Amino acid sequence: MSSLQPSPADTSSQRWAWWPLLPLYPYGRRPTLMRELVPNRVWCFEQLHGVWYVAVPIRMTVVKVEGGLMLYAPLAATEEVIRGIHALENAHGPVLSIVLATSSGLEHKLPVPALCRAFPRAALWVSDRQWSFPLQLPSSWLGFPADRTKILFRDGLPHPDQLSWIPLGPINLGLGTFHEVACLDHCSGSLLVTDALVSMSSVPPPIFGLDPTPLLFHARERGAEALIDSPLQRVKGWKRILLFANYFRPGSVSVPHLSELLADVAQAEHRQPATHFGLFPFRWSEHWENEADLLIANSAGDISFGLAPVLERLVFVRSKGPFLAWLGALSKLQDVRQLIPAHYDAPKPISSASLAGLAQRIKQRTWAPSEGAWQLLASIDSTLIEWRLVPKQNQVPE
Ligand SMILES: [Fe+2]
């Protein structure tokens, strides 16, 4: 593992000027961790992104291909990131292709223009049915370079001799289309996905080694408490972040009365930006950790990956069939050895058998439930149906 961390005086290389387009933490400064996942073959660049310190990793994977490199799932191209990729280019050849394998993931789409400008000779491959909301803008308006943008499958596939490409969807969501394309690098056995599969554990991802503030912020019980760093606090904070990121409003958290909040702010000994000046509008019930452990077990357990609840309840809620068909296609691939998603943990051991096992488990359990921790996700789905923003009926691939 190697950190790209610059000296304190050189944090300007972490500047991300385009953050107002998607104003998420850590806003205009994006520290990046670079890790080598498979020696001389696969690397990843990781940053954090999130809301109110509910920060999770976002990851771009770099794969060695014949004659150069491929970048999968674009990331904010800070000077630090570009420098890191240039170092790989010096050893392994130029960036030949940049792949945006999702039609809907805004957090992966917005970094595309800057990354393409940084590597002007690379071809840009995007999944079909790219869309924008509230207006459907042409691809060139989204900053995709018209002279070197290709559509996956329609215009061919990048590096087909060594990579397999497996599409999920397109699925009509009403507001737009969900379409994602997984990529298997046969040489390293790495299965790259963007959002459709994740792996979560109770161990905070290594990117938090650069700055554990989000973990320590959420590890507290009250806003008046200081941020205290310890391995236990980091795990506690990470489990709570997992609950927020997956359910938005977990069943084991409540919002205290305003007077209680203000009292906390008044009592806070350390009023500083890192603690949001003592503002902490959460009260966790004593059983919160059970809810977190259940989430981790459901998404991992003996099969160390799964579908994130937010995607299951809001994207695939009426499209279980296409998701299972995609898992079935993945399970038939040869050489699958590790999963590298664009979020949460990576890499994770994976096999054809575990992919088939996940499909079997999904068939046996309740799909997209509405009870317990899933209540808010279910009510969001109901509201979208009520407003006729998403279709009510079961959807099949278009
Ligand atoms: Fe994503």
* The predicted structure's pLDDT at residue 276: 81
Q: Residue 313 C-alpha to ligand 1 middle, in angstroms?
A: 16
| 77: amino acid identity, one letter | A
Taking the C-alpha atoms of residue 260 and residue 335, their distance in angstroms, rounded to an integer, is: 56
How close is the Cα of 144 to the center of ligand 1, in Å? 18
pLDDT tops 80 at residue 268? no
Query: Cα(24)–Cα(325) distance, rounded to whole angstroms?
Result: 34
Lowest mean pLDDT among 79-83, 360-364, 381-385: 381-385
Question: How close is the Cα of 105 to the center of ligand 1, in Å?
Answer: 5
Distance 133 CA to ligand 1 centre (A): 16
The answer to whether the predicted template modeling score (pTM) of the entire model surpasses 0.75 is: yes
Domain extents in the chain: 2-199+302-360, 211-298
Torsion angles phi and psi, residue 307, rounded to 5: -100, 130
* Phi, psi for residue 110 in degrees, rounded to 5: -65, -35
CA distance 286 to 296: 18
pLDDT at 398 over 50: no
CA 229 to CA 90: how far, in whole Å?
39
Q: What is the pLDDT of residue 8?
A: 57
Cβ neighbors of 377 (< 8 A, separation 6 or more) are 247, 248, 309, 310, 313, 314
User: Ligand 1 mean position to 366 CA, how many Å?
Assistant: 24
Q: What letter does residue 1 receive in the DSSP assignment?
A: -
Q: Is 268 exposed, middle or buried (0-12, 13-18, 19+ CB in 10 A)?
A: buried
Q: Dump pLDDT digits (tens) for 61-112.
A: 999 999 999 999 999 999 999 999 999 999 999 999 999 999 988 899 999 9
Whether residue 157 contacts residue 90, with contact meaning beta carbons closer than 8 Å, is answered with no
Any idea which fold 2-199+302-360 has?
A: Metallo-beta-lactamase; Chain A (3.60.15)
Residue 296 in tokens: 């981790």
In this predicted structure, what is the pLDDT of residue 109? 92
User: What is the distance in A from the centroid of ligand 1 to the CA of 341?
Assistant: 9
Concatenate the DSSP letters of all residues of 310-326 into one string: HHHHHTSTT-HHHHHHH
Rounded to the nearest angstrom, the distance between the alpha carbon of 349 and the centre of ligand 1 is: 21
pLDDT in tens, 154-192: 999 999 999 999 999 888 877 778 899 999 999 999 999
- Nearest to 297, CA basis, from 370, 224, 381, 199: 199
CA angle centred on 220, ends 218 and 224, rounded to 5° = 120
Structure tokens, 16: 């991300």
Write the pLDDT tens digit of every residue in 196-255.
999 999 999 999 999 999 999 999 998 888 899 999 999 999 999 999 999 998 988 888
Distance (angstroms) between ligand 1 centre and the Cα of 199 equals 13
Kindly report, residue by residue over 28-49, the tens digit of the pLDDT: 999 999 999 999 999 999 999 9
What is the distance, to the nearest Å, from the Cα of residue 111 to the centroid of all Cα atoms in its chain? 14
Cis-peptide into 57, omega within 30 deg = no
Determine the distance separating the centroid of ligand 1 and the alpha carbon of 262, expressed in angstroms.
35
Mean pLDDT, the chain, integer: 89
Residue 52 CA to residue 223 CA, distance in Å, equals 13
